[in-house]
Each structure stands twice: as structure tokens, then as C-alpha cells.
């Protein structure tokens, strides 16, 4: 064998044994601890199913009123509120109401969890440079690793269904909120922080009355990105048994149902646009002070 033409490699047998060994130990791990891990995620399942059932069971006019009200409260725009209600009616009219409710409950739960995990991690990263150095590569990994690669171990541990789908969505959608929280806090004007110090603020006072409020535009951009990425995962999550608008899209790919795919795809797009516009408007309103009429 010529050294220059062939890269040194593990022998075929060794390689197979290595893969087998790892696979086997992971399998025995998942067999041994699978139930415990599943139990650990039970609250998520409970939360998700409850919300989904609630949304599906609720009379449709009430949902429409709530959607309209939330859209208006978030954006203070009648146009946007009306548009949202109209989109929901159309989606329902074309028979996608239940799937839409399932998707909304998945996105909502995923977003809430991402915020609950992401913002504290982002704050820690902004406070300690070491934390930032340690977490940044993990975030890079989460965003670039092919989704199927981490879908597989999740499925092996938890089987298929809603919870593994939810976890897959969270893994994919979590990085932006962490990154933008960290960035937003780090970008707060040094002079303002100095002023806060000069008046004797402690860390908590500085964090809650200066850093977070001034980082809100960025944090909110992170929330927006997280919602968008969660929606983007809906179709892939349906591969491991998550119900919702993604499922029919998957079916249409497998069976070449053009119209079914198009309709559900457009419904996802409509949801994305509604979430995006409402959350962006809300983010802008949070920083009204920046848009105060500038003094000449």
C-alpha cells in the first residue's frame, strides 16, 4: 500500500467494531434509562397535549377573537389584526384548522421553552467571557449539524411522537435567542453602565434596570428568529410523528399530492408571516423612546 496515495485509516474491521460498540452502548443506555428520560420529559408532553386539546376543543369563533385581539395588542394595527383573522378563516375553510391548532401549540410551547432557557443562558454568557467561549461552539454545532443526525438519538431514546419532535424543534430554534440576548447585553453603551456604577447600582439593579431594557430590541429580534426557526422545523418534526401542518406536507411529498402540499405549505407561510409581523411590531413598540421626535 502506498503511503502517498492512500490516507492512513482504521482497518475496516476495527471501524465496524467501533461503530458497533458505540451503537450498542447507546442502545443499552437508552434501554436502561429510556423510561426515566421519558418520565423526565413528561411535563412537556402534558403541557403540549393540554394546549393542543384546548385549542382544538375551543369554539372556532373564540379562537378567532383571541387571535385578532392578540394581533392587535401586539402590533396596534387593525390591518394586521384583520389580516390574521382572515388568514385563520381561510385556513379553516380549506380544512386545515385542526392541523393548524396542533402546529400553533407546538410552536407556542417551543418558543416559551426557548425563551425560558435561552434568555438566562444569554445573560450568563454576557456576564462571563469564559461562558461565552464555552457556549458559542455548542450553538454553532446546534445550528449546523444536520437535523437528522440528532433526530436519530432523540428517537432512539424517546421513540417517535410529540415530545421528541418538540425537543428537535427546541434544539434547532434555541440558538438565536441565546446569541441575541448575549449580543444585546454586550452592546449596551459602556458610558451608561458606568453611570449606573457611579450611582452605586449592584449587579441585579444594573441587569434589570439598564442592561435588559436596553438589550430588549435585540432580545426581541432573537424571539422573532426563534419563532421563525421553530416554524421552519414543522415539516421535519412531522417525520418523527408530530401532528400538524407538517404532516400533510410530508404525505404530499411521498405521494405527489401537489395541492395538499401547496395548501399546507401556504398555511405555514401565513402563520409565519403573522407571527413575524406581530412580534416585530411589538418589539418596536417596546423601544418607543428611541423613536421619540428628535429635538432639532
Taking CB under 8 A as the criterion, the residue among 18, 65, 192, 253 binding other proteins is 192
Query: Which residue, 102 or 219, is less far from other proteins as judged by CB?
Result: 219
In angstroms, the Cα distances linking 287 to 117, 222, 268 are: 24, 15, 29
Among positions 12, 146, 200, 254, the unique one binding other proteins when judged by CB under 8 A:
200
CB 193 within 8 A of CB 273: no
Q: Work out whether 194 is an interface residue with other proteins (CB under 8 A).
A: yes
**Nearer to other proteins among residue 59 and residue 292 (C-beta):** 292
The reply to whether 295 sits near other proteins by the rule CB under 8 A is yes
189 binds other proteins (CB under 8 A): yes
Residue 289 touching other proteins (CB under 8 A): yes
DSSP output for the chain: --TTTS-----HHHHHHHHHHHHHHHHHHHHHHHHHHHHHHHHHHHHHHHHHHHHHHS-HHHHHHHHHHHHHHHH--HHHHHHHHHHHHHHHHTT-HHHHHHHHHHHHHHHHHHHHHHHHHHHHHHH-HHHHHHHHHHHHHHHHS-HHHHHHHHHHHH-SSHHHHHHHHHHHHHHHHHHHHHHHHHTS-HHHHHHHHHTT--HHHHIIIIIHHHHHHHHHHHHHHHHHHHHHTHHHHHTTT--STHHHHHHHHHHT-HHHHHHHHHHHHHHHHHHHHHHHHHHHHHTGGGGSPPP-
Among 92, 159, 161, 213, the residue binding other proteins under the rule CB under 8 A is: 213
Residue number with CB closer to other proteins (130 or 293)? 293
Binding segment for other proteins (CB under 8 A), chosen from 49-57, 95-103, 159-167, 200-208, is 200-208
Give the shortest CB-110-to-other proteins separation in angstroms.
Answer: 29
Applying CB under 8 A, the site for other proteins has a residue count of: 25
Given candidates 82, 195, 262, 269, which one binds other proteins under the rule CB under 8 A?
Answer: 195
Residue 7 interacts with other proteins (CB under 8 A): yes or no: no
Give the nearer residue to other proteins in terms of CB position, either 196 or 249. Answer: 196
- C-alpha–C-alpha distance, residues 188 and 191, integer Å: 9
Q: Is 202 among the residues that bind other proteins (CB under 8 A)?
A: yes
Work out which of 3, 4, 93, 199 binds other proteins, going by CB under 8 A: 199
Shortest Å distance, C-beta 127 to other proteins: 16
Residues 214-273 close enough to bind other proteins by CB under 8 A: 214
What is the Cα–Cα distance from 188 to 175, expressed in whole angstroms? 20
Nearer to other proteins, 130 or 295 (CB): 295
Residue 292 binds other proteins (CB under 8 A): yes
Judged by the rule CB under 8 A, the positions of this chain that interact with other proteins are: 189, 191-192, 194-202, 205, 209-210, 213-214, 287, 289-290, 292-296
Amino acid at each position: 500500500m502506498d503511503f502517498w496515495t492512500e490516507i492512513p485509516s482504521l482497518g475496516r474491521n476495527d471501524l465496524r467494531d467501533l461503530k458497533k460498540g458505540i451503537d450498542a452502548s447507546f442502545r443499552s443506555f437508552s434501554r436502561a434509562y429510556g423510561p426515566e428520560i421519558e418520565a423526565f420529559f413528561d411535563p412537556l408532553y402534558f403541557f403540549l397535549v393540554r394546549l393542543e386539546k384546548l385549542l382544538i376543543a375551543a369554539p372556532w369563533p373564540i379562537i378567532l377573537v383571541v387571535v385578532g385581539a392578540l394581533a392587535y395588542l401586539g402590533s396596534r394595527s387593525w390591518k394586521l389584526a384583520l389580516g390574521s383573522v382572515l388568514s385563520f378563516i381561510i385556513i379553516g375553510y380549506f380544512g386545515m384548522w385542526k392541523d393548524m391548532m396542533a402546529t400553533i401549540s407546538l410552536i407556542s410551547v417551543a418558543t416559551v421553552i426557548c425563551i425560558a432557557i435561552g434568555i438566562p443562558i444569554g445573560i450568563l454568557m454576557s456576564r462571563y467571557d469564559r461562558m461565552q467561549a464555552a457556549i458559542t461552539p455548542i450553538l454553532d454545532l446546534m445550528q449546523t449539524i444536520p437535523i437528522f443526525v440528532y433526530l436519530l438519538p432523540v428517537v432512539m431514546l424517546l421513540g417517535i411522537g410529540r415530545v421528541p419532535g418538540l425537543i428537535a424543534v427546541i434544539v434547532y430554534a434555541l440558538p438565536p435567542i441565546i446569541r441575541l440576548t448575549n449580543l444585546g447585553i454586550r452592546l449596551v453603551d459602556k458610558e451608561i453602565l458606568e453611570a449606573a456604577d457611579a450611582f452605586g447600582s449592584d449587579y441585579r439593579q444594573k441587569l434589570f434596570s439598564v442592561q435588559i431594557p436596553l438589550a430588549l430590541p435585540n432580545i426581541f429580534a432573537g424571539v422573532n428568529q426563534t419563532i421563525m426557526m421553530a416554524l421552519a422545523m414543522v415539516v421535519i418534526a412531522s417525520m418523527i410523528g408530530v401532528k400538524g401542518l407538517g404532516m400533510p406536507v410530508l404525505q404530499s411529498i411521498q405521494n405527489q399530492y401537489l395541492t395538499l402540499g401547496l395548501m399546507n405549505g401556504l398555511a405555514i407561510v401565513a402563520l409565519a408571516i403573522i407571527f413575524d409581523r406581530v412580534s416585530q411590531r411589538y418589539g418596536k413598540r417596546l423601544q418607543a423612546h428611541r423613536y421619540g421626535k428628535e429635538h432639532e
